[in-house]
């Protein structure tokens, strides 16, 4: 009986940890999504400028990079929202326990989030560096 209670408490704590982390990731991803919209708006305005060949090539590469960031951000948002949806369904079951499968899925989301966050920060720096070059 004590083992069952301990497993239940541990599962509850794991669920709380995963849920809180998901909420934090969702918040960060929504912010990243808004930043990407901002970058895309600027890139659209720059489309018609008479840029040098070098800046045109940089613009094309940056636009592709930003597009990829948007696609990856949207995919990760959907994956985390889906995990939260499944958690909602599963926690309604009386004997719900977080197991190895939940751990592996959540760890995969964590790896994806960290990679996206790192890539986004690199893209953000590239965007501002490019904009500085354009403004000079």
Give per-residue pLDDT as tens, 49-67.
Answer: 888 899 899 999 999 999 9
Q: Cβ neighbours of residue 123 under 8 Å, at least 6 residues apart?
A: 39, 62, 65, 66, 69
* pTM to 2 decimal places: 0.84
Give per-residue pLDDT as tens, 11-37.
Answer: 678 788 888 999 999 999 999 999 999
């Amino acid at each position: 009986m004590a083992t069952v209670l301990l497993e239940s408490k541990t599962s509850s704590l794991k669920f709380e940890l995963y849920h809180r982390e998901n909420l934090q990731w969702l918040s960060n991803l929504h912010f990243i999504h808004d930043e990407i919209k901002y970058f895309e708006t600027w890139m659209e305005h720059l489309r018609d400028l008479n840029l040098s060949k070098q800046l045109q090539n940089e613009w094309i590469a940056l636009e592709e990079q930003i597009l990829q960031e948007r696609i990856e951000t949207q995919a990760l948002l959907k994956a985390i929202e889906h995990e939260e949806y499944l958690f909602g369904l599963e926690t309604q079951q009386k004997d719900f326990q977080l197991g190895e499968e939940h751990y592996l899925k959540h760890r995969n989301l964590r790896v994806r989030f960290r990679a996206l966050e790192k890539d986004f920060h690199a893209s953000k720096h590239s965007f501002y560096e490019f904009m500085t070059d354009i403004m000079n």
